[in-house]
């Protein structure tokens, strides 16, 4: 009797490379068929070439292969996959000297497709490949908040399926709200007031209507680890298509992308004449437009004190004005202005380390002019006690460090701490080297080729913040060629010793497996930011790759559990 073999999907949302291999060297030492991949074809102009579904095979003797196709694509959407199943391109990952006849090509996964499989010993057997739409078994609780008589946000420990309410308050008589992962449903009525001093339970049912997750709601007093965040706690919050989900311009259009996290919101600026928008930081769903009070926004970022910092743009001899606000609904107020005394524009690349209400260093990297000049200049603004004490233009061109125009060929220069003497880090296309510069000298350099980063990537995005006593630098590489399977990446380093970035292993290294623009080379604009929750227990990291059309959010914590 033939075996019927089902496997869970792994890496459903990956993007096709520029090649179309029939057979791929397997990554595991086992005989037979290692995996089967179904890719979109002409049924989807937007996702053509992307992976619709993948079946990883562990049993070498299986004869019937049922590829589990997600019910919707993208997973968080309501777009059914049934229309795409009738015309997919199959690819097989085979052990050496194995083959499938006839060669895999376009197939209808709603039908049974028969082939002859021949193993390395020359033995043949008939196999059948088909597909089956599969409802998601995910049943994760994404947020949990006590809402009345006042709000207390719960901390979700996904490993133990527990939600901690970190407070010493009396929690009798509270109602609650929660959000769950895409297509799951909440089975517990949270509008009913309960005594959360005592342990409660919340159940979530997956889309498949079979799988459930039950979370215990526990009142608990928090303790922090003494330094930084727990890398093991890092998890992805969302990964979305900003064109489809937020109505943003397509990748072929030029934007000057910048991000901020403050006021419990993710704020996103395109600098294309539209106001920045703000989104739910846990789901990425758009909530509204930021009140900019008529300011012509060139860039935004956040400090470590809950401020959104806004810059305008200026040509040579023009004036750049910086504004600040702590709320997306309150118009920003002027913080500082300066005359651009350089021969190149400035304003699109803004970064800050520290708290501008106390001590901070603000840096605006200048921009080259296409066909005219590159530049190695940046403006450094030092804030002490909430007041600007100095503004100066620094030129790195004498060190051989120069870059081009924004947004694609510019640079983001980041201060590694809130102390000006700590120096800066920078990276730009196509130097592809992270440089640490202090006292006018290159003190350390990291060649990104050692990390597998080539000219297929754009390396001009960085961020630097301190969280729970730990100084971090984030480097993002965005994709120049998303249609070739070139993915966005981020790496995070502890820079308590900035020179160590030369050889240090990243605390976190993330390679995106899901992005939504795979058709062409567009405008490689990008940004990455880090911000802390108001209670100081969680840190959020967000990146936006405009060319690959993806915005992603992550969270980690410093709770001693």
- Alpha carbon of 175 to those of 204, 213, 220, 403: distances in Å? 17, 21, 18, 54
Do residues 115 and 203 both lie within one domain? Answer: no
- For strands 4-5 and 64-70, give the pairing: parallel
Q: Which residue has the tokens 């390396």?
A: 459
- Rounded distance, CA 143 to CA 558, Å? 18
Residue 168 has what pLDDT? 67
Do residues 314 and 441 both lie within one domain? Answer: yes
**Residue 226 belongs to some domain of the structure:** no
Q: Cβ(213)–Cβ(141) under 8 Å?
A: yes
Do residues 325 and 215 both lie within one domain? Answer: no
Residue 154, domain CATH: 2.60.40.2340
Do residues 189 and 301 both lie within one domain? Answer: no
- Alpha carbon of 335 to those of 120, 445, 509: distances in Å? 71, 34, 35
Sign, CA torsion 467/469/471/477: negative
The gap from C-alpha 365 to its chain's centroid, in whole angstroms, comes to 23
Do residues 448 and 397 both lie within one domain? Answer: yes
Question: pLDDT in tens for each of the 561 residues of the chain?
Answer: 323 322 222 232 233 333 333 344 444 344 689 999 999 998 888 888 889 999 999 887 889 999 999 999 988 888 999 999 999 999 999 989 999 999 999 999 999 999 999 998 999 999 999 999 999 999 999 999 998 887 888 989 999 999 999 876 789 999 999 999 999 999 999 999 999 999 999 999 999 999 999 999 999 877 899 999 999 889 898 999 999 999 999 999 999 999 999 999 999 999 999 999 999 998 899 999 999 999 999 999 999 999 999 999 999 999 999 999 999 999 999 999 999 999 999 999 999 999 999 999 999 999 999 999 999 999 999 999 999 999 999 999 999 999 999 999 999 999 999 999 999 999 999 899 999 999 999 999 999 999 999 889 999 999 999 999 999 999 999 999 999 999 999 999 999 999 999 999 999 999 998 899 999 999 999 999 999 998 888 899 999 999 999 999 999 989 887
Residue 13 has what pLDDT? 28
- Alpha carbon of 21 to those of 87, 93, 105: distances in Å? 18, 9, 11
Do residues 123 and 145 both lie within one domain? Answer: no
| Cα within 13 Å of Cα(174), Cβ side | 24
Phi/psi of residue 66, nearest 5 degrees: -110, 110
Domain limits for position 120: 4-134
**Residue 238 belongs to some domain of the structure:** yes
Do residues 288 and 247 both lie within one domain? Answer: yes
Residue 80 has what pLDDT? 93
Other beta carbons within 10 Å of 159: 9
Domain count, the chain: 3
Q: In sequence order, what DSSP letters do the residues of 68-123 get, joined into one string?
A: EEESBSSTTS--BSHHHHTSEEEEEEE-TT-EEESPP-EE-TTS-EEEEEE-TTS-
Cis peptide before 149 (omega within 30 of 0): yes
- Rounded distance, CA 315 to CA 345, Å? 4
Q: Is 1 exposed, middle or buried (CB count within 10 Å of its CB: 0-12, 13-18, 19+)?
A: exposed
Other beta carbons within 10 Å of 113: 15
Task: Choose one of 220, 251, 284: the last residue of a domain.
Answer: 220
Residue 514, domain CATH: 2.120.10.30
Do residues 245 and 374 both lie within one domain? Answer: yes
**Residue 416 belongs to some domain of the structure:** yes
Task: Choose one of 109, 134, 159: the last residue of a domain.
Answer: 134
- Rounded distance, CA 16 to CA 481, Å? 11
Among 208, 201, 161, residue whose Cα is nearest residue 184:
208
Q: Cβ(249)–Cβ(272) under 8 Å?
A: yes
Do residues 124 and 257 both lie within one domain? Answer: no
**Residue 225 belongs to some domain of the structure:** no
Task: Choose one of 101, 134, 167: the last residue of a domain.
Answer: 134
Do residues 317 and 389 both lie within one domain? Answer: yes
Q: HEC profile for 406-432? A: CCCCCEEEEECCCCHHHCEEEEECCCC
Q: Is 519 exposed, middle or buried (CB count within 10 Å of its CB: 0-12, 13-18, 19+)?
A: middle
- Rounded distance, CA 106 to CA 92, Å? 13
- For strands 162-166 and 212-220, give the pairing: parallel
Residue 25 has what pLDDT? 43
**Residue 507 belongs to some domain of the structure:** yes
Do residues 261 and 325 both lie within one domain? Answer: yes
pTM of the complete model: 0.72
Do residues 471 and 430 both lie within one domain? Answer: yes
């Amino acid at each position: 009797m033939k075996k019927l073999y089902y496997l869970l999907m792994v890496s459903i949302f990956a993007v096709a490379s520029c090649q179309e291999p029939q057979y791929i060297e397997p990554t595991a030492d086992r005989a037979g068929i290692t995996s089967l991949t179904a890719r979109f074809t002409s049924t989807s102009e937007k996702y053509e070439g992307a992976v619709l579904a993948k079946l990883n095979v562990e049993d070498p003797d299986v004869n019937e292969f049922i590829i589990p196709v997600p019910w919707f694509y993208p997973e968080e959407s309501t777009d059914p996959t049934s229309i795409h199943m009738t015309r997919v391109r199959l690819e097989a990952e085979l052990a050496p000297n194995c083959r499938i006849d006839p060669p895999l090509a376009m197939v209808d996964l709603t039908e049974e497709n028969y082939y002859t499989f021949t193993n390395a010993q020359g033995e043949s057997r008939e196999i059948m490949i088909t597909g089956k739409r599969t409802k998601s078994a995910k049943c994760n609780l994404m947020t949990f908040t006590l809402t009345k008589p006042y709000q207390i946000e719960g901390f979700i420990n996904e490993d133990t399926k527990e939600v901690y309410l970190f407070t010493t308050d009396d929690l009798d008589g509270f109602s609650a709200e929660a959000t769950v992962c895409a297509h799951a449903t909440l089975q517990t009525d949270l509008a009913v007031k309960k005594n959360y001093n005592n342990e409660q339970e919340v159940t979530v049912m997956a889309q498949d209507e079979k799988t459930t997750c039950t979370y215990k709601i526990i009142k608990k007093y928090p303790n922090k680890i003494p330094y930084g965040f727990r890398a093991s706690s890092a998890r992805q919050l969302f990964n979305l298509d900003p064109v489809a989900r937020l109505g943003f311009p397509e990748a072929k259009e030029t934007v000057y992308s910048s991000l901020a996290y403050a006021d419990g919101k993710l704020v996103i600026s395109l600098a294309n004449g539209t106001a920045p928008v703000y989104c739910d930081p846990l789901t990425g769903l758009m909530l509204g437009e930021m009140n900019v009070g008529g300011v012509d926004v060139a860039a935004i970022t956040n400090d470590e004190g809950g401020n959104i910092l806004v810059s305008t743009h200026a040509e040579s001899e023009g004036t750049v004005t910086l504004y600040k606000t702590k709320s997306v609904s309150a118009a920003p107020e002027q913080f500082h202005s300066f005359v651009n005394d350089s021969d190149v524009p400035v304003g699109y690349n803004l970064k800050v380390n520290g708290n501008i209400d106390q001590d901070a260093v603000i840096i605006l990297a200048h921009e080259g002019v296409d066909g005219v000049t590159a530049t190695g200049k940046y403006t450094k603004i030092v804030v002490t006690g909430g007041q600007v004490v100095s503004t100066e233009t620094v030129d790195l061109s004498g060190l051989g460090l120069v870059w081009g125009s924004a947004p694609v060929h510019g640079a983001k220069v980041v201060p590694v701490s809130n102390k000006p003497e700590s120096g800066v880090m920078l990276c730009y296309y196509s130097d592809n080297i992270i440089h640490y510069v202090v006292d006018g000298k290159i003190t350390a350099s990291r060649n990104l080729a050692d990390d597998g980063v080539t000219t297929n990537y754009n390396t001009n995005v960085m961020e630097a913040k301190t969280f729970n006593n730990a100084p971090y630098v984030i480097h993002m590489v965005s994709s120049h060629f998303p249609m070739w399977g070139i993915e966005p990446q981020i790496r995070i380093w502890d820079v308590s010793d900035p020179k160590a970035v030369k050889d240090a292993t990243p605390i976190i290294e993330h390679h995106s497996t899901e992005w939504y623009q795979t058709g062409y080379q567009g405008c490689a604009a990008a940004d990455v930011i880090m911000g802390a929750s108001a209670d100081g227990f969680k840190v959020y990291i967000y990146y936006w790759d405009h060319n690959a059309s993806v915005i992603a959010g992550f969270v980690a914590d410093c709770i001693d559990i």
